[in-house]
Amino acid sequence: MRPLIISTIVVLFSAVAVLGCDVPLVHYKTMKCTPVGSRPDGCPERYDCPSLQAHDNNKCYFNGKTYDIDQRVPDTEVSEFCSVLCYCRSANPSAKFRCAHVDCPEFFQRFDYDNCLRQYERKGCCASGKVCGDARDRLATCELENEIYKEGQRMRFKDNKCRTCICSASFNRNATETDPNCYESVCGFELFGEKHLYGGAIPVYKQDACCPWEWRMPKETDSVVKGAGKPATDPNLQCKYGNLTLDVGDTLNIQQNAEDRKMTCSCQVPPLMQCVLN
């Protein structure tokens, strides 16, 4: 998602968005959809998503790339999901990825948190090693948002859950956009949630997470609550959800039980609606 001003990014609803746009859009960024047009609020008018709008059931899609049956995804692109050997396989109704899961050694070992720390590498799943005692105390330190970290530790941004940095001796807290040890997280729903993604579901975000927390399938009891805006004359500027068609600004009337987590679902930036857990 790179409309207009590429270098100016803010995060709202814990999702990367264009300056002034308060709509969670990380799902579009993950699928490498193309923003089309611009609105006064800073949001694109819509996104063009080939993996959705021109989907081929005999292919798999991940991170903007298309994979044929039996084609493998490079391990470096899925390592942060603790996965390896991901390949596209034929399935009904749509091709899907099959991956091997990595069980890190630290998952099964007790750890001396008072005396040691684990070190990580960029986009890695498992720890690359550990440092203890005096050696730990001699490690370089980093400061990020008033927190102190030691070399090799993961650093999280309080207001940008999508970005991570690895503390290094050369870390510059004033240049995190260009630091080679800082990176944007890639969401894994294309690897593991194709049944929902291509089955008509919409992303559900929660306030403290970068990626969609879950996906909501249409229900027969859903209905449309019309917004104040004018109906769209261009179908590309509408959201389709099951048998429903929503204009930008329309919301979904959801029948929820008292014990359900409350959410608000709306058509904000087509083609997909999105929900936010309240």
CB atoms < 10 A from the CB of 46, how many?
24
Q: What's the pLDDT tens digit per position in 113-147?
A: 999 999 999 888 999 999 999 999 999 999 999 99
Q: Averaged over 60-78, what is the pLDDT? A: 96
Helices (H), the chain: 26-30, 50-53, 75-78, 133-137, 189-192, 194-197
Q: What's the pLDDT tens digit per position in 147-202?
A: 999 999 999 998 888 899 999 999 999 999 999 999 988 899 999 999 999 999 99
pLDDT at 42 over 80: yes
pLDDT at 8 over 90: no
Asked whether 257 and 226 are in contact (CB, 8 A), the reply is: no
Q: What's the pLDDT tens digit per position in 232-246?
A: 888 999 999 999 999
Would you state the structure tokens that stand for residue 86, as one six-digit string? 């991901």
pLDDT at 204 over 90: yes
What residue ranges do the domains of the chain occupy?
A: 25-101, 105-184, 200-277
Lowest mean pLDDT among 4-8, 51-55, 205-209, 263-267: 4-8
Q: Averaged over 44-66, what is the pLDDT? A: 95
- The mean pLDDT value of the chain amounts to 88
Per the confidence metrics, is the pTM higher than 0.85?
Answer: no
pLDDT of amino acid 70: 97
CB atoms < 10 A from the CB of 25, how many?
27
Q: What's the pLDDT tens digit per position in 87-110?
A: 999 999 999 999 999 999 888 888
pLDDT at 259 over 80: no
Q: Averaged over 46-51, what is the pLDDT? A: 95
Whole-number Å distance between alpha carbons of 26 and 31: 9
Q: Averaged over 59-84, what is the pLDDT? A: 95
pLDDT at 5 over 70: no
pLDDT of amino acid 258: 65
The identity of residue 84, as a single letter, is: V
